[in-house]
Each structure stands twice: as structure tokens, then as C-alpha cells.
Amino acid sequence: MKVLILSVILFFSGAIHAMDSRGLEIKEKEGLEQERIWIIDLLKGHGSHIKLNKNKSDLSTLQAILDNGPYTHDAESELIVLGTVYGDVLASELGLRWVVVTDEDGTDIGLQYKNTKIFLFPRDMIIKRIEKNEEPDLSFMFNELKKIVEGMINDPEIEGN
């Protein structure tokens, strides 16, 4: 049985951890766009005419990219880029938006549900699983995340709901 580690979603009331978020600045948006272009160029370079739609239909393509990589000498950066495009699917399907999140441990780009304390960090999800010698199943992760996020959205105890 597959288990999804819940650490990919962070939700805290202010009493536990102070987490702040803000919208992306132009330079951060441009950085994410460059990552998307890298994935599109990778597909084109392998003779593919597949168009990414930022929805569930992209999951099999993203899984194939993951399974057949790495493509460069910088596998970690590739996984971050793949996490960005995976995050686009999550954002589109779950009503999330890209933000910059800051807490006591630092600053990272993630996804947020409206103005709640529901955050996902897809750029880290895949890397963390690879580091644990797991073989990430992006469709399985998506389905589990969807269930969890939908449950959290309906939880009145989550700050901002």
C-alpha cells in the first residue's frame, strides 16, 4: 500500500508557526515560466508534440519525464522544474495559486488555497521522495493530495476557512 507523507502540506495557526505568504513578483513569475519552457523544450527535443494543459491530462507526460530522467548533469534542478509543472496541475485542479511563503526556516515558492494556511510545496515533493529512494507516482500523489486538500478546505478549524 502506498502512503502519502502529509508533510507536503503545511497548515498552521499563528500559535504554532508564523507563516506569511505573498503573491509572486514579476521576477519570480518569470522564473517559473522559464522552468515551464524548459519542460516544453525537453518534450520538443524528444520529438514530442504533446502540449501541456495544466490539468490532470498532463500527469502521464510528467510521469514519463520523471521516469526517463535525468536529462542533464543537474538532476535536482530538473526535479524542481518538474515540480513546478506538477504544481501547475495542482493549482489548476484544486484552485490553488503560486505564492512565496516565509516562515522561521526560510522562504520558498509554494501553492496556497485562497487566503488560508493551506500550503503545498510541489517543487520539493518529488525531490524529497527521490531522496528517500521512493519512486514517486504523480497520479497517486495527485489523487491523495486532492482528497486531503478538499478535506482541509471544509475543516472550520483551519485558519482562513
Residue 78 lies in a domain: yes
For residues 55 and 135, what is the distance between their CA atoms, to the nearest angstrom?
22
What's residue 17's pLDDT?
A: 61
What is the model's pLDDT at position 116? 87
**8 A C-beta contact, residue 44 and residue 38:** no
Q: What is the domain range of residue 122?
A: 22-145
The secondary structure element, H or E, covering residue 16 is none
Domain tally, the chain:
1
Residue 94 lies in a domain: yes
C-alpha distances out from residue 153 to 89, 99, 145, Å = 18, 18, 12
Task: Say if 159 falls within a structural domain.
Answer: no
pLDDT along the chain (161 residues), means of 10: 42 54 96 96 85 95 94 94 98 97 91 91 93 94 94 76 55
Q: What is the pLDDT of residues 86-125, one digit of tens each?
A: 999 999 999 999 999 998 888 999 999 998 888 999 999 9
d(CA 142, CA 125): 11
Q: Is residue 64 part of a domain?
A: yes
pLDDT value for 47: 77
- Kindly state whether residue 34 falls inside one of the protein's structural domains: yes
Inside any domain, residue 63: yes
CATH number, domain of 35, equals 1.20.120.1090
As a whole number, the mean pLDDT across the chain is: 87
Residue 131 falls inside a structural domain: yes
Whether residue 97 is contained in a domain is answered as yes
Is the alpha carbon torsion for 90, 91, 95, 97 positive or negative?
Answer: positive
